[in-house]
Amino acid sequence: MIIKNVKVFTEDKRFVPGEVVIEDGLFQVEASNQDEVIDGNGCYAIPGLVDVHFHGAVGYDFCDGTEEAIQEIAKYEASQGVTTIVPATMTLPEEELMQIAKTAGAHKNEEGAVLAGINMEGPFISPGKKGAQAGTHIVKPNVEMFRRLQEAANGLFRLVDIAPEEEGAMEFIKELHDEVHISFAHTLADYDTAKKGYALGADHATHLYNAMPLFTHRAPGVIGAAHDSSHVMVELITDGVHIHPSVVRTTFDMFKDRVVLISDSMRATGMPDGQYTLGGQAVTVKGNMATLTEGGALAGSVTNLMDCMRNAVKNMGVSLEDAVAAATINPAKSVGLDNKYGSIKQGKVGNLVLLDQNLEIQKVILNG
């Protein structure tokens, strides 16, 4: 397949007029035969998006623990140009997480977005910053529990979230940082604690600014520690609800190519307003805002990653180049998937999205 007359997003984060070649499901430099030719009509050609933190869509949640849920979510995400997914679990009992892990580990990736990993958002978090997580199921960071779940998932967990101030957290990082990417999330950690954890091998910050201490001039907290640890990638939700546009711009200035756009979307994404659930808790959705019915805490988003990327460009002053990188190669790097996904490079999986000048999807190509 040859896609001609497009502006190709390159690995050095520029748009260059040219063409894209995909053969046998992989990007290639040039075509080896006269294959199907598509006129891109001047569209932007970008890699398929990579969402490393979201919970569900179209009435389904990854934590439903069913093949139907995974498949329906995967089909929806692909239709929105999100071709590689790393959905997140919630703070649940181990037996429920075990069922979710086993179901995901058995998934075959036959249709829709590729299930390339799992993000374990709970239960190793702080009760003091639980947000929309269920406090009754929070436990201390537990190496053995993680390894049991990882085995059940056939090694699919790419990211595990912890609160570094909790008992056993530093030992958890020391033991597991070579086996899985470790993120700080739902935490009350101060700067020194977070900095120590990052020095030990943690390398990620979950939905920056949300469910963590404020970044202030005398107490920079996790945000300051992440900034000062050059290997750390930071998630950012640009749905227009979680983060003010000025803070979004500032974060891109501070972290540059370490920003990872996420959707943090829940099952109401792609659905009408109404009552839904997240991690077993009731959620009220109105417009683009989802909150716990009891207490009113933000409960994820109802915006998919493509819309978050589009919103960052159109309404938040982020350049198209920075936004595309933050939704493709940066997230792929953050969970160790950049050898296969995230950029238009020879040998990588041929997932491609064509966007018109208004950033509306014209075509999604999966595996060529």
With a CB cutoff of 8 Å and minimum separation 6, the contacts of 145 are 94, 139
| Biggest CA-to-CA distance, the chain | 63
Angle at CA of residue 83, ends 67 and 112, nearest 5°: 40
264 in catalytic set: yes
Tokens 């604690």, residue located: 193
Radius of gyration of the chain from its Cα atoms, rounded to whole angstroms: 20
Distance CA 87, CA 64 (A): 12
Q: Are strands 44-47 and 37-39 parallel, antiparallel or unpaired?
A: unpaired
Length of the chain: 368
Distance CA 230, CA 211 (A): 22
Q: Are 80 and 130 within 8 A, CB to CB? A: no
DSSP-derived secondary structure letter, 236: E
**Torsion angle of the four alpha carbons 89, 93, 94, 96, in this order, in degrees rounded to the nearest 10:** -70
Q: Which is the catalytic residue, given 61, 264, 307, 322?
A: 264
Tokens 């350049």, residue located: 319
Using DSSP's 3-state secondary structure scheme, residue 343 falls into coil
Q: Are strands 88-89 and 60-61 parallel, antiparallel or unpaired?
A: unpaired
Asked if the bond preceding 213 is cis, omega within 30° of 0, the reply is no
Distance CA 185, CA 150 (A): 19
Catalytic residues: 264
